[in-house]
Structure 1
């Protein structure tokens, strides 16, 4: 029962990863086709605690669109406060802003899709395999009892 619950949880998590990755791939492709690039300024640096004692570096970036609207966002990066950094975004959708290259974003989102698909496919297969092996073990034990 617990195995089924964990398997279902991981499969649903995998679905979320795959959908997020596909959305990111779509945005990266749209930025490549219709995006704009402007200079932004690094406002702040931060390090966030990650799993197993790791640290992730993030930067806060401010940029101004062609219509004069200023936006700020946080993203993984290692630039210093005050540095000028290139920002890529879709006009009308500042939430797509990134300081990473389109290729880098595509690779990251592609890996997220693959991870999601792996969880969605392999977790149920693993549960079936473990269930099948458990059933075989029970059958063997019953045969030994019947033979004795």
Structure 2
């Protein structure tokens, strides 16, 4: 029962990865097709402590769209405060802003979608295999008992 719960959870996580990856790929395509690039300025830096003590750097970047509206975003990066950095976004959707290239974002979202697909497909197959092996073990035990009795 616990294994089934864990597998179901991993399948749901995998589904979330697939959706996020596909949404990211769609957004990346929109940025590539209709996107704008503007210069932004790094206004803050931060070091984040991740799992098992790993550390990674984030930067906060302020940029102004062609329409004249100012936005800020946090993203992984190693620039210094005051540095100018290129920001790419889809017009009318500043939440799509990224300091990473469209290609880089596509690769990362593609990997996320593939990892999710692997979870969605492989986890149920694992349960089926373990279930089949369990049934085989039960049948062997029954045969042994009937041969002895």
Normalising by structure 2, report the TM-score.
0.98
Aligned counterpart, 1:110: 110
In the alignment, structure 1 residue 99 sits paired with structure 2 residue 99: yes
Partners of 2:37 and 2:104 in 1: CA distance: 15
Aligned counterpart, 1:21: 21
Give structure 1 regions of 4+ aligned residues with deviation exceeding 3 angstroms: none
CA shift, 1:83, in A, is: 0.5
Aligned counterpart, 1:39: 39
CA shift, 1:131, in A, is: 1.0
Partners of 1:128 and 1:41 in 2: CA distance: 53
Aligned counterpart, 1:147: 147
Partners of 1:88 and 1:37 in 2: CA distance: 4
Partners of 2:2 and 2:28 in 1: CA distance: 39
Give structure 1 stretches of 5+ with no counterpart: none
Give structure 2 stretches of 5+ with no counterpart: none
Normalising by structure 1, report the TM-score.
0.98
Aligned counterpart, 1:49: 49
Q: Deviations over 1:76-97 (max 9, x none)?
A: 1111111000000001000000
Aligned counterpart, 2:3: 3
* CA RMSD of superposed structures (Å): 0.6
Secondary structure, counterpart of 1:80 in structure 2 = coil
In the alignment, structure 1 residue 120 sits paired with structure 2 residue 125: no
Aligned counterpart, 1:129: 129
Partners of 2:49 and 2:132 in 1: CA distance: 40
